[in-house]
Amino acid sequence: MTTSNVHVPSAPSTINCAVLAYLAAAVIPMVWGTIELFSGSQPPAPGVPPELNSMLVNLALGISVVSMLIYVWLSLKLRAGRNWARIVLAVFTVLQLLALFGPAGAAAYVGLGLAAVGLVLSFLPDSNRYVVDVKAPR
């Protein structure tokens, strides 16, 4: 087995900040929404039986956790310089924007704002150069 001396560039601050923004875009709305759910500030829909409401709350929490885990995974891949992760995160940001045309709370706007910051940072020239440099040795 041989080892190669391949230089792996370190991530620039734009990528590191983009990763932090995407992570915050995933965590803050989930925590905010969970607090709102359990604080009782979101009353159940009229005419919805308590069992169904409980199931919907559990489903919403499950979806939030899964989406947060996907964001964390994609953010780590972005940190590793994977261009496909950057593109998928950009698509998710656009989907978040489109979701605002439905009922949305303040947490959705905060999440979108943070994701937009991550999107911009991940496509700045330093970030582009990093993604190209990481791909070159492969």
Choose among 100, 66, 97, 71: nearest CA to 86.
Answer: 71
% residues pLDDT > 90 (the chain): 45
Distant-in-sequence, close-in-space partners of 75: CB < 8 Å, separation ≥ 6 = 19, 22, 23, 26, 85, 89
What's the CA gap between 67 and 127, in Å, rounded?
A: 24
At 72, the pLDDT band (50, 70, 90 cuts) reads very high
What tens digit of pLDDT does each residue of 114-138 get? 999 999 999 999 999 999 988 876 6
Within 40-124, residue ranges assigned H as helices are 50-79, 83-99, 106-122
Average pLDDT of the residues in 64-68: 88
What's the CA gap between 67 and 128, in Å, rounded?
A: 26
What is the three-class DSSP state of 55? helix
What's the CA gap between 3 and 36, in Å, rounded?
A: 53
- Residue pair 85/74 in contact by the 8 Å Cβ criterion: yes
Choose among 17, 13, 30, 1: nearest CA to 119.
Answer: 17
With a threshold of 0.85, does the pTM exceed it? no
